[in-house]
Structure 1
Amino acid sequence: MTTELRIGIVGLGNMGSGHAAYLAAGEVPGGVLAAVSDVREERLSWAKAAFGDSVKTYTSAREMFDSGEVDGVLICTPHYSHPEETIAALQAGLHVLVEKPAGVYTKQVKIMNEAAAASGRVFGIMFNQRTNPLYRKMRELIQTGELGDVRRINWIVTDWYRSQSYYDSGGWRATWEGEGGGVLMNQSPHNLDLWQWVTGLMPTRIRAFCGFGKHRDIEVENDVTAYAEYSNGATGVFITSTVDAPGTNRLEITGDRGKLVAEDGKLTFWRLRTPESEFNRTYAGGFGSPETWRIDVPVPGGEPNQHRAVTRNWVDAIAGRAPLESPGEEGIKGLALANAMLLSAWTDGWVELPLDDEQYYRELQARIAASTAGKDQAAAGRTLDVKGTH
């Protein structure tokens, strides 16, 4: 006889409400929605109306953690509180699945990771794009050596369009104090995680240029172009924006044996018959290039609800049925890239990795202190439907 994992949700905003809906519908075998917490009474009233008396409601996350009613929690609060809530839940003996990003700055996330390592609990992060069959196939082709040594990584991901009404939907949004950043902290954590997860590479240094409040009335970055260098000689360019319409999502990874291109849900492998390094060493004809074959790589179908897929894997990992595919400790990698890009733009120079955590923290605090956003961070915002987003 199996026992279902009793799951609590901390925060019933956009993402928390979406997670609660599929859990309550029984779409995660082995898991059941047992409780929710939110500081806003109207969201708790919504939960009572939607899920009935079988789901407990709490105005305090700590009260829920100590209630004995839950075995694990999904943390879906604003970014700054992710490490604090995660640490409290782990110390209460609960398993944790935290929404992205892991936190706002690496200094606090390191402390969270230490707490997770000491807890003995299963700690995951909602990197739902890791379940996307297209990116999983790219990772496989690189890990197995099919692409050869990675030489160049170019990703233009500007299909994160957000209107002013989106930014106005919550007092914490698009401010240094409330959100800790813009597109790098809210939309692109998925892409930054994949940038290093798919290739298995972290840059040694980054130079970035950011547009702050470009075409929008916000103070944080919403348009970014970054250049990265790697220890193996590879280079990378990462471009993201929330103001392009229509946007583009094209990831190119070039290796010694060809080039992978992911776009429009399709994966193309431009495979060299002879590795470039070998062709260059042996070819004596002057003008010429390696013979190239276009291969339309078959990508298997995947779980249509990627968030649900991550939650299912987390529940299975807790039960010992599967390895955890999105370990929470790995959230610091993409966050370090985001922090490095912002620090580079702020200081108008190169940023070496590993990141100087203290320098980034000081620079962020200076921007919080100088903020003129004038928003009430405690203001109740609108809860938006996240269906169709990433």
Structure 2
Amino acid sequence: MASSKPLLLGLLLFITCLLQVLLAAANTQPPPPPPSCDKSDKELRFMFSQWMAKYAKHYSCPEEQEKRYQVWKGNTNFIGAFRSQTQLSSGVGAFAPQTITDSVVGMNRFGDLTSTEFVQQFTGFNASGFHSPPPTPISPHSWQPCCVDWRSSGAVTGVKFQGNCASCWAFASAAAIEGLHKIKTGELVSLSEQVMVDCDTGSFGCSGGHSDTALNLVASRGGITSEEKYPYTGVQGSCDVGKLLFDHSASVSGFAAVPPNDERQLALAVARQPVTVYIDASAQEFQFYKGGVYKGPCNPGSVNHAVTIVGYCENFGGEKYWIAKNSWSNDWGEQGYVYLAKDVWWPQGTCGLATSPFYPTV
């Protein structure tokens, strides 16, 4: 019995050593790699470099580029999350679409901007000193077709780009005058937004302005010169008085205000000609709008941007929508346009489009 104890102790010692050797061998094996985001980040950075090249983006220093990459990455994630929650469908197509789905989003030239930066740089309605003039009602018995699209009549010029000058109010006004001039004379002429930016003392140049004062400026001078003769620069310059007073390519005698918060009156006006409206363009969903009928989110009581309504459609059994020409290039939205839900239950209309519409007169 006593002789078995050393044998038993030796066996235990051998087993202990063997376990230590096995544990040591196990510890020398590299641990399995943790889930890595390096590949995903590399892919995103490559996509960002492609996006920079597409829009000729250049940043002042590596730190600024990294900051813009992080903003772009956040916007990319937002777009992906939006799409995952929304049933995707095909785009609405150009010119008088017959079937339109709910809105979709996609990356565009504004991908490196936060929502706040975007609104500051690319909207432009300045409420300072704004007083809507008395409205001019249109007879409710006037003829109103179910669908209107002034593009199909050749009364709308190509989509333009205001740049980061807050001059949407001038672009909306020019588009409305261009449409009226084509309807009345048969001639489509691209008109000068720059003359309004430089010469409208009722507005604030690249710090924002009002479509009604721009229309009033043109009316008081009897007309407006062409884009070719007074090209857009994207900065406020000195007013060229000679081109303001003379050398007109289109003439208007005045302007009228549509009765506010009345989509029926707005439709009657748009059935006659393109009309300027103010909307709220603050939402991230609007910043990256790519197509479909936009129903929000937005604050109809806080408008900050001007667009031109160039049509509408009230297809029986389908979506009702307004066709709005924007001034953010044809890369944004549906080839530069946004389709806004029509005849909503709140009086201001989608994003406040019915609050203060205007149109030129001859």
TM-score, normalization by structure 1: 0.24
Greater CA radius of gyration, 1 or 2?
2
TM-score normalised according to structure 2 size: 0.25
Q: Which has the higher strand share?
A: 1
